[in-house]
Amino acid sequence: MLRSRAAAAAGLLICFGTRALLAADESRFSTPLTLSIEQQPESIYAPPEPPRPGQGVNEGAVHLDLTVRYMTDYVFRGIDFSEVGGREDAPNVQFDGALWMDLGKLPHPFVGLFINVYDSDPVSEFQEIRPTVGFDWTIKPLTFTFGNNTFIYPDRDPLNTNEVYTRVALDDSFLWGTTRPVFSPYAFAAYDYEVYNGWYMQAGVKHDFMVEDTGITLTLLADVSYVMGLQQYALPGTTTDDGFQRYELGAVATYSLNTLLNVSKRYGEFSFQGYMYYTDNIDHGLRADTQIWGGVGINFKY
């Protein structure tokens, strides 16, 4: 009798102990399990963007982009200015620089300066000096640029003029689901308000082919231009100044000297560039040259 009561008591203890262990296990796993399946509240802030190529090199507000080129010709908007009194394929040394401020979501003001030095020019070796001022404003996926170009031709004062311009570029990476733009289409329009009182318009695309881990980038580009009311594009003896003026194809090869010399980009980005272009006339009633030209250059960005 006593043995049966003891056995019954032991059974009850085992039963209660098992239930207690199960209850402890349930309480231990119920909270994390509930938290794992609960949805977190959606943030009102956009997720952080992945770093852009070149980001982290100069995180300050002031940036510099400077290129020095040695070119066989100076061709600008389809006109070969190296044909003015000089010999074919005489050297052209070009300085092309820009300084701009990164103001975050606000427009980014910039100033720029382009100089073409043509050794064979019979009037002035400093053939063209072109100061630029303006600002960029990015409203994704578009980047708007507004500015003013001043064209200065030393010792050719009647040619000096000014134009205002705008440029709209599309970051088409969202269309292709890529991290970098694919064709980067853009449209450009400039109005000469001092001498010619006419329009120059241009549209184009480009694509970068990057060879990973080599520092080599090949950029292919193409554009076409349209002029309206610009007498400097009318052929001698004609008054035609409207129409599609010319098209242009180009290739730019860039080799990172930081990669070659194992130099940190915190000191800036140095690159060697090679250029090759071809331009040709579209409307034979408008002035445009058929020309192949190219050259080499050194670029510095910081």
Domains of the chain plus CATH, in order, are 62-301 (2.40.160.40)
**DSSP, res 214:** T
* Mean pLDDT to the nearest integer, 245-261: 94
Residues 276-296: tens digit of each pLDDT: 999 999 998 899 999 999 999
- Residue 86's CB is within 10 A of a number of other CB atoms, namely 19
Position 138: which residue type? Answer: T
Contact 126, 152 (CB under 8 A): no
Q: Please check whether residue 199 is in contact with residue 190, taking contact to mean a CB–CB distance below 8 angstroms.
A: yes
Distance of CA 74 to the CA centre of its chain: 23
Distance, in Å, from the CA atom of 241 to the CA atom of 233, rounded to the nearest integer, reads 6
pLDDT one-digit tens code per residue, 41-78: 444 444 545 545 444 566 678 999 999 999 999 999 99
* 151 in Cβ contact with 160 (< 8 Å): yes
DSSP bridge pairs for 76: 79
Mean pLDDT of the chain: 84
Residue 38, number of CB atoms within 10 A of its CB: 8
Asked if residues 207 and 220 have their Cβ atoms less than 8 Å apart, the reply is yes
